[in-house]
Amino acid sequence: MTDKELYKTVEIALEEIRPFLKNDGGDIELVSIENQKLVKVKLLGTCIDCTVNQMTLKSGVEMTIKKHAPQIEQVVNIRA
């Protein structure tokens, strides 16, 4: 899979999880993908200070991205 294809695949995965985040006043933005293994995202809105954002990141976002792109090993949140 090319970098461009992987980027599009990860965006599709984020679109799948985004409605749940927006329902709670949050959102997510894809920052970068490194070495086709590490996805960097930025949690937005109420997700920034949410006490369960790491759980959301691992059990929701990372799981959804890996479902679409199994080669992804890790998803991390980049704080502004």
Per run of 10 residues, the mean pLDDT along the chain (length 80 residues) is: 95 94 91 96 86 79 95 89
* pTM for the model: 0.89
> Which residue shows structure tokens 């792109």?
69
Write phi, then psi, for 13 (nearest 5 degrees): -60, -40
Q: What is the pLDDT of residue 31?
A: 97
Q: What is the pLDDT of residue 15?
A: 96
What dotted CATH number matches 3-77?
3.30.300.130
